[in-house]
A and B are shown apart, each in its own frame.
Chain A
Amino acid sequence: MIRMIFTGAALAVGIATVMAQGDPIAERRNIMKGNGAATRTGSQMAKGEAPFDLAKAKAIFQTYEKAAQRMPTLFPENSKTGGETTAAPKIWEDMSKFKVAFAKFEKDAKEAEAATKDLDTFKAAFANVTKNCGACHETYRIKKS
């Protein structure tokens, strides 16, 4: 019985993984939601609406780093439309530039993580790394609602 449960659980995890792999639009939307949640926490700490927490602050930048590594792999040719994607056609017109933007985001996030020691250094690092968000959204995202 226990074996069956384990097998079932393993199977379920396996299916979920395959599904996520097979659905890059869903995966990139999830990653961006994670970035948004991290950014919200960061904004609240930077504005003094939430207490500063060094571990949480570093975790924000780690979320960005992971996103920056994973995201460039999630834009295959067959994922231009569907699934409520807000990806702009520009991504596929200039994929190398798009990837460079993520490489910069990752580098900036790593530097921000290393530079963050207290609230003041966090504020500066957070303001700097989040400039990447708008810079990318300007060209590569088209909101439809």
Chain B
Amino acid sequence: MKRTIAIVIGFALLAATGFVILTSPEMVRAGLEPIPAGQPDLANGRTMFYAGGCASCHATPDQDDKTRPGGGLALHSPFGTFYAPNISPHPRDSIGGWTLEQFLRAMRGGVSPEGRHYYPAFPYTSYQRMASADVRDLFAFIRTLPAVEGRVRGHDLPFPFSIRRGLGLWKLAFLDGRMFQPDSAKSASWNRGAYLTEGPGHCAECHSPRNALGVIPAERRFSGGPNPERKGWVPNITPDATGIKGWTRSDVVEVLTSGLTPFGDSVGSNMASVVRNMAQIPEADRAAIAEYLLSLPPQVGRKGPQ
């Protein structure tokens, strides 16, 4: 009997030690890459800011200036309510005192300067694909924006999602840390579109279904899914009959510029904000995204609850 108890305690200790080791942010290697030399390109940083949709979540709500990223927006997800933090260059309340190394680690590894995991509501699962030079330029651009005072309240999440440490296991399983790899068989504009869509644009994060672990099944990527804020359904953006089959490249560019679809509809919900951002990037970039989306393998999308 004593021996049984000892074995049980032994296993429990082993499991606890394993949990501590495996969930450590040190286990995540993404975002520890060397910083590229050279002066940051602010124009490119601005493109990354808008392609990345930073303002959609981080702009201070209830005011029109989308370049005041003071945070505070509530995201009502199925895992609980997240409050987008302040990402303005305020030295005390935000990222004003950060180094570029810390910013890169946050963007690509989802680890804070204090060594804590960020929740993947911050889409580093896509941002990990970004080139380090683009992250550097983005950081420089954000530092030109107004510093907004005030820290944002903590997230409101039920157990077990309230245990940040648990994210370590999730990251080990699902955060591969690979940067975007261009396909040399494809055109430069296709590769640009693939990069913008899969990396900064993080389109798949909303336009895909997720399994019980919150992971997007690769074979159903971009086929549409439930709105992450539980507000209806996000459409299929693959060229299937249930998606964007029959759309021309200029149709896709148009919807990303004005929000108008070829059927005279105007996109709404969270996409309205995405359109405002996408309208700010060069037209060639929108055309590249269109080229990539129209090249995706068609996936049958599922309809949402009627």
Contact = CB atoms under 8 A, between A and B. Distances in A.
A and B: interacting chains? yes
Nearest to A39: B264
B254 A47 contact: yes
A133 interface: yes
Contact of A144 (B232, B263, B266, B270): B232
B153 interface: no
Interface residues of A, number: 28
A142 interface: yes
Interface of A: 35-43, 47, 84, 86, 88, 127, 130, 133-145
Interface residues of B, number: 26
Contacts of A36: 263-265
Contacts, number: 74
Closest 5 CB pairs of A and B: A137-B268, A40-B264, A133-B266, A138-B272, A39-B264
A145 B250 CA distance: 24
Given A88-B231, A130-B266, A145 B306 contact: yes
Contact of A133 (B232, B250, B259): B259
Interface of B is mostly: loop
A62 to B, nearest CB: 16
Contacts of B273: 138
A143 B305 CA distance: 10
Given A134-B258, A140-B268, A145-B306, 18 more contacts: A36-B264, A38-B264, A39-B264, A43-B264, A130-B259, A134-B259, A134-B266, A134-B267, A134-B275, A137-B269, A138-B272, A142-B269, A143-B235, A144-B232, A144-B306, A145-B233, A145-B303, A145-B304
A37 B304 CA distance: 25
B121 interface: no
Contacts of A143: 232-233, 235, 268-269, 304
A136 B267 CA distance: 10
B258 A130 contact: yes
Contacts of A134: 258-259, 266-268, 272, 275
Interface in B211-269: 227, 231-233, 235, 250, 254, 258-260, 262-269
A39 B304 CA distance: 26
Contacts of B232: 86, 142-144
Contacts of A43: 254, 260, 262, 264
A88 B258 CA distance: 22
Contacts of B275: 134
30 contacts: A35-B264, A38-B264, A39-B260, A39-B264, A39-B265, A39-B266, A40-B262, A40-B263, A42-B264, A43-B260, A43-B264, A84-B306, A127-B258, A130-B260, A133-B266, A134-B258, A134-B268, A134-B275, A136-B268, A137-B269, A137-B272, A140-B268, A141-B268, A142-B227, A143-B232, A143-B235, A144-B232, A144-B304, A144-B306, A145-B233
Nearest to A139: B268
Residue among B264, B266, B269, B304 having the largest count of chain A Cβ atoms under 10 Å? B264
Given A47-B250, A144-B304, A145-B304, A133 B269 contact: no
B124 to A, nearest CB: 26
Contacts of A42: 264
Contacts of A40: 262-264
Contact of A137 (B262, B267, B306): B267
B290 to A, nearest CB: 14
A135 B275 CA distance: 11
